[in-house]
Amino acid sequence: MKRNQTKHSKHVIFISYLCIRPGSRLVFSLSSWKKCVPGRNMSNEVKQSRISLDKQNLELVWADTHLSRFNVKWLRFFCRCKKCVPEFKGLYLVDIPAFPEEMNLLEVDVGEKGTNLSIQISGEIYPDHVIKHPAKWLRERCNCDACLHDVINARDVISRYGISAGVREMPKMTHSELGDDEGVFKWAKTIMEVGFCLIKQVPLENGIVVEIAKKLSPLLETTYGKYIDIRLSGGKHGSNNKGALPLHMDQPSYESCPGVLLLHCLKFDKTVSGGNSRITDAFYAAEILRKESPGDFKTLTEVPASFDIVNYNITHPCHMEHQKCHIVLDYFGKIVGVTWNPDQFAPVRLRQSDVDRYFKAHRKFSEILNRPENQITFRLEAGDVMVVNNRRCVHGREKIVADCGSRHMQTCFLDLDDVKSKYMYLGHKLSKNLTPPKVGNTCSF
């Protein structure tokens, strides 16, 4: 659409600001556009609006004096009008590549009481299209530094709960609590926030761990099938030996490790000594590494480790390998992913110049992960199910000493995104007003 391009050509770009609100005057200075901490008493009413001199940004002052800026392309491509918002995800209604590279804001009307914006631009390709945005929707998506900081912090439950917050014993629930939505929600919330828990008094039935897991999400079947039997000897899984298992995440050779693991203790005779479980939060350890040894921290975000597993004698014979950094940062510099498993560690494929600094950083991170003060150690009892966010926490087992007696565990997995999704859905169903949590799936959001 070119109808307004002449009117708003380069010749008029020197005209001060275009303050569009009917009845409002063009007299305010940048200094009057204050920043404020969003969240508290956040206003959804636009008090003043203007188009930046280069016509690339719409600047809004809210009734609480907060200032937001929205880019012209962002406003157009995320338009909320009925023509642009699909009824179902998957319907692509705004053909972004079809728009020209150059687009300019032309006119803005913030509507009755500053709550509904209508925006005209140059470069529009759909006939008679006017961009529509509810002011409330825009305010919730203000991407100024303060608002981004706020939303990321609100989601960062990892730094506010669990090991980071001083938790040093396993939160406990009973199996009977999982009989309704409230109970399953409480369970999901504990996994989201703390990262681990114990379910007590679970019946000693073969495969029941799968039925419990399915209360949270569809089962994630792995190379070992629906679940893995772990006994003192004879199985095809590494945990069947009696040696100590170092702190690790399960199945790191997948591009994304299984998200939540459940370990059901069916039998653990008193005659079997040792075999205590250990658990800690790898995100917390990574933050300590960042503080104590920034160079090593940087190395683990730049130099990748290798993981592999080749086993042709299991339920689904497998040959897997994956190279990834132990620590993943997001766009904002936040830790969003950690992978750690000394058991499935494979020969690293690195430039010679990186090998030494890699092992130096690896040793330091391992030392922090293994600090006793950051760990929880406990002995599983028959009827316990240990539940762990396998992408956030590492678990291990002390050496087992057994001349007689037996120990029998069964373990299965869920996908972390599925569990988070169930948590959000149950929260919605039970009117909990949730903020989606950061969970360790390489994303702050």
List of E strands, 325-379: 327-329, 335-338, 345-346, 376-378
Q: How many CB atoms lie within 10 A of CB 14?
A: 7
**Interface mask toward Zn ion for 90-129; x: CB under 5 A:** ----------------------------------------
Number of residues that bind Zn ion (CB under 5 A): 7
**142 vs 386, which CB is nearer to Zn ion?**
142
Does position 287 interact with Fe ion (CB under 5 A)? The reply is: no
Shortest distance, position 142 Cβ to Zn ion, whole Å: 3
Element spanning 394, H or E: strand 393-397
**250 vs 415, which CB is nearer to Fe ion?**
250
Q: Which of 46, 79, 138, 184 binds Zn ion (CB under 5 A)?
A: 79
Q: Choose the stretch contacting Zn ion; rule: CB under 5 A; options: 77-85, 177-185, 323-331, 410-418.
A: 77-85
Shortest distance, position 343 Cβ to Fe ion, whole Å: 8
Beta strands 172-174 and 196-200: pairing type? parallel
Name the token pair of 211. Answer: 């039925």
Let me know: does 235 contact 302? Beta carbons within 8 Å.
no
Q: Which of 46, 135, 138, 147 binds Zn ion (CB under 5 A)?
A: 147
Q: Choose the stretch contacting Zn ion; rule: CB under 5 A; options: 42-50, 141-149, 164-172, 228-236.
A: 141-149
- Exposure of 103 by Cβ count < 10 A (0-12 exposed, 13-18 middle, 19+ buried)? buried
Length of the chain: 445
Quote the CA–CA distance of 289 and 286 in Å, as a whole number. 5
**66 vs 407, which CB is nearer to Zn ion?**
66
Q: Which of 51, 60, 142, 213 binds Zn ion (CB under 5 A)?
A: 142
Q: Which of 19, 36, 81, 288 binds Zn ion (CB under 5 A)?
A: 81
Q: Hey, which residues does 279 pair with through a beta bridge?
A: 376, 395
Residue in the shown chain whose Cβ atom is closest to Fe ion: 250
Shortest distance, position 380 Cβ to Fe ion, whole Å: 13
Q: Which of 144, 165, 350, 402 binds Zn ion (CB under 5 A)?
A: 144
Choose the one of Zn ion, Fe ion, none that binds residue 119, judging by a C-beta under 5 to 8 angstroms depending on kind: none
Shortest distance, position 390 Cβ to Fe ion, whole Å: 8
Quote the CA–CA distance of 313 and 182 in Å, as a whole number. 42
Q: For 67-140, where are the alpha helices, taking DSSP H only?
A: 72-77, 135-140
Shortest distance, position 77 Cβ to Zn ion, whole Å: 9
Choose the one of Fe ion, Zn ion, none that binds residue 63, judging by a C-beta under 5 to 8 angstroms depending on kind: none
Choose the one of Fe ion, Zn ion, none that binds residue 209, judging by a C-beta under 5 to 8 angstroms depending on kind: none
Beta strands 327-329 and 385-389: pairing type? unpaired
Choose the one of Fe ion, Zn ion, none that binds residue 288, judging by a C-beta under 5 to 8 angstroms depending on kind: none
Question: Half-sphere exposure of 444 toward its Cβ, with a 13 Å CA cutoff?
Answer: 16
Q: Choose the stretch contacting Zn ion; rule: CB under 5 A; options: 139-147, 175-183, 313-321, 340-348.
A: 139-147
Quote the CA–CA distance of 202 and 265 in Å, as a whole number. 9
Does position 250 interact with Fe ion (CB under 5 A)? The reply is: yes
Does position 384 interact with Fe ion (CB under 5 A)? The reply is: no
CA angle 73, 79, 85 (to 5 degrees): 135
Let me know: does 390 contact 249? Beta carbons within 8 Å.
yes
Interacting residues toward Fe ion by CB under 5 A: 250
